[in-house]
Amino acid sequence: MSAGELAPRDALLRMTNAHEVSQAIHVAATLGIADLLEEGPRSAEDLARATGTHAPTLYRLLRALASVGVFVEETDGGRFGSTPVGEYLRTDAPGSLRGWATYIGQPSFRTSWGHLLHSVRTGEPAFPELHGTNVWEYLAAHPEESAIFDAAMTGLSAGVVEAVVQSYDFSEIDVLVDVGGGEGRILTAILATNPVLRGILFDQPHVVAGAEDLLARAGVADRCEVVSGSFFEAVPGGADAYLLKSIIHDWDDAAAIEILRKCRAAIAETGKLLLVEFVIRPGNEPDRAKFSDLNMLVMLGGRERTAEFSDLNMLVMLGGRERTADDFERLYAEAGFRLTDIIRTGTPFYIIEGVPV
């Protein structure tokens, strides 16, 4: 055993107790500690006054987080500063993870993961079993938690957008449709770096409602059309590329193929289909996609089932999962595409390219 390597029992104990670190980070994120340290180290008493917390107990929290490198305690004791790791808990940090750290401590999320055993035993998601509805209807009924979720998704996506833009050559594309593109953050970035490209942002009406401001601030509104609708009905036609980021992993195979078939019906015969998704790698090396797959199981997933698309009002997200390269190749084939490339982005996300057949 090399120096610094944990004994097997100690390694397992550290993994078993990882929830302690996660929850402590959640509390620090919720309190906005990293924002308060932006100008330099501050005492636990000062931070407690700013956050309305109990100073001796806040000290204990910060001391624990300093021991894992999130903050640093000065040698004289009592004053804490940030670290390169802790900087990502700042609200305004590029690629900030404050939103995600805040969300993972929400009771609805935490208790769903606490029922992973239920999902493993039954093959069904824990979230609706606990809350009586799917995660999307739950968030719609809890606007405060929905806002936290939205911030978490924005933060997670922030580090991916630039990587996608830099990893794929969009210069040969005339019109790109971002299917399920939300407020258009990734499409905005692609348009900003490809000045002759035109875009179409496509998502549900309430989702794209705030897109115009974002597009205008980026100076690309004149090259981007905003269209609302459901990708189970149809997507805008005639474009030579269709981009779907983190869409297919929300759905089981039947629903995923249905979405891809709508893209196949719309795409130019010389077009490109581009999915931005995790790809589960073979082997035993650490792979974020494998635990994201469990998250999809707990929150959205379920056993494969026959999907019915006639009554769109009854559709809910079921069967969410991450997939292997072979899985994507099969989905593409069944939807009328041929998988041509899987491109690394330097993040856990890959660009999965396909062409119509």
Residues that are catalytic: 249
Nearest 5°: the CA angle 245, 171, 233 is 40
Distance CA 221, CA 299 (A): 35
> Tell me, what DSSP letter sits at residue 312?
G
Pairing of strands 198-203, 175-179: parallel
Distance CA 91, CA 156 (A): 13
The answer to whether the CB of 149 falls within 8 A of the CB of 141 is no
Residue 201 burial by CB count (10 A; 0-12/13-18/19+): exposed, middle or buried?
buried
For residue 45, CA distances in Å to 53, 54, 171, 217, 279 come to 9, 8, 54, 40, 46
Residue 34 has φ and ψ, to the nearest 5°, of -60, -35
The answer to whether the CB of 189 falls within 8 A of the CB of 162 is yes
Distance CA 166, CA 190 (A): 9
Instruction: Outline where 227-324 has alpha helix (H).
Output: 253-266, 288-299
